[in-house]
A and B are shown apart, each in its own frame.
Chain A
Amino acid sequence: MGLALVLALIVAPEDADQGISQRIFYIHVPIALTAYFCFGLGAVKALLLLWRGEERYDLESYVAIHQGTIFGALTLITGSIWARASWGIWWTWSSNQLVLFLVLFLFYCAYFMLRFSLEDGPRRARSSAVYALFGVALIPVSFLAIRLAADFIHPTVFTRDGPQMSGTMFATFLVCWGAVTLLAYVLYRVELAGKRLDADLRELREVLQ
């Protein structure tokens, strides 16, 4: 993370068009991609739960979606700050990319409402898994919206011709992406371990009492 910060804030050259505000790109885009990945991972784990019926996939799916929601919130906040710096506004409803990401984020926020409204058990696990699988359909829509959008207000950096940036900028982006992915992975493992330990202790308490 330290290397990523140094590269993003000091080493990477300043963008000729956007100036210093382009440096938000190095944190905003990796966080957005990580959010998509976490939601996708949550859906894969949900599919595995429905397919194999193993209970552990329920917790793994939940934690992945929880991570995705945190990174989704960060995507919206950093994106809003970047919008203020680049376009002079915090938010615009005319950009399909922004609105679709907000829809995706709210959809997964509702996942927690569904999950915590049901009693713990196989029914809750199955219902949550089905909901998580529905949500995954929104990911490609949200991801591709930037290319399908008619307003072109949101910049397209990665095109069929490759990344539209210099070599140093692209290398910085890759380091930042790796750092954010690693951070997400560590947080995922720690949260999962904590939840498993919590469940084990609850079971142990029931046995002892």
Chain B
Amino acid sequence: MSWSQEELVAAAYAVVFLFVLVYVAIIAAKLARLQRETAELVELARRKSGGTS
């Protein structure tokens, strides 16, 4: 397959953009998980404090 110079330049920049996009998506997914876990722990802490008081 033959690639033109313009296509190769576009490919180089697109690869970088795609990598950053995937990285940000992974970070976003992780933040969503941490948010869920924080909510679970808040609920757990409330139940515990309710049970002891």
A residues adjacent to B (C-beta < 8 A): 5, 9, 19-21, 23-24, 27-28, 31, 70, 73-74, 77-78, 81-82, 84-85, 183, 187, 190-191, 194, 197-198, 201, 204-205, 208-209
Contact = CB atoms under 8 A, between A and B. Distances in A.
Nearest to B27: A190
Nearest 5 CB-CB pairs, A to B? A85-B8, A81-B12, A24-B12, A78-B12, A21-B5
B9 to A, nearest CB: 5
A85 B16 CA distance: 17
Contacts of B20: 183
A191 B27 contact: yes
Contacts of B3: 84-85
Contact of A81 (B8, B23, B31): B8
B15 A77 contact: yes
Interface residues of B, number: 23
B41 interface: yes
A202 B38 CA distance: 10
Contacts of B16: 27, 31, 74, 78
B25 interface: no
Nearest to A79: B12
**Residue of B6, B9, B15, B45 ringed by the most chain A CB atoms within 10 A:** B9
15 contacts: A5-B13, A9-B9, A20-B5, A21-B9, A24-B8, A24-B12, A27-B12, A81-B8, A81-B12, A81-B15, A190-B27, A198-B34, A201-B37, A201-B38, A205-B44
Q: Is the interface of B mostly helix, strand, loop or mixed?
A: helix
B15 to A, nearest CB: 5
A209 B44 CA distance: 8
Contacts of A73: 19
Main secondary structure of the interface of A (DSSP, over half): helix
A38 B39 CA distance: 34
Interface of B: 3, 5-6, 8-9, 11-13, 15-16, 19-20, 23, 27, 30-31, 34, 37-38, 41, 44-45, 48
A85 B12 CA distance: 10
A78 B12 CA distance: 5
Given A5-B13, A70-B23, A74-B16, A201 B41 contact: yes
Contacts of A74: 15-16, 19
A146 B38 CA distance: 50
A20 B48 CA distance: 65
